[in-house]
Amino acid sequence: MSAARPDSPPRYLRTPEAARFLGLSGRTLEKHRTYGTGPVYRKLGGRIVYALEDLQAWADRGTRLSTSDPGHDIVHPAKPRARLTQATPARRGGGAS
């Protein structure tokens, strides 16, 4: 893919085109958006659009040199991420004294 010229405006893709660019289905990209695991997007009126550079940056997060390379970042699957829960205080009582 050629780099955009510095004086050209950013190129935006709608969900179906963005999904094709990434090699995903449109539904998978929608799930990523819902769960907060996908690329940065913009909402223009009622339309969702993705900048090409944001799609490329998100895809680059998954770059690895080998199967044993842990990488520096993760592209999470399109599913709800586990939320960290606050530690609950231990219950007192109820045991034999």
Single pTM value for the model: 0.69
Give the model confidence (pLDDT) of 10-19 as tens digits.
799 999 999 9
Is 25 domain-assigned?
yes
pLDDT given for residue 75 in this prediction: 79
End-to-end CA distance of the chain: 72
CB 41 within 8 Å of CB 49: yes
The number of domains in the chain is: 1
**In the numeric block, which tokens belong to residue 22?**
């990434």
Question: Does 67 reside within a domain?
Answer: no
* Spatial separation of the C-alpha atoms in residues 9 and 75, rounded to whole Å: 27
Look at residue 84 and tell me whether its pLDDT is greater than 60.
no
pLDDT for 9-63, tens place per residue? 779 999 999 999 999 999 999 999 999 999 999 999 999 999 999 999 999 988 8
Q: Quick check: is 20 in a domain?
A: yes
Enclosing domain of residue 21: 12-60
Position 90: which residue type? A
- Our measurement of the distance from residue 14's CA atom to the centroid of its chain's CA atoms, rounded to an integer in Å, reads 16
Among 46, 47, 27, smallest CA distance to 38 is for 27
Instruction: Indicate whether 56 belongs to any domain.
Output: yes
In the structure, what pLDDT confidence band is assigned to residue 67 with cuts at 50, 70 and 90? confident
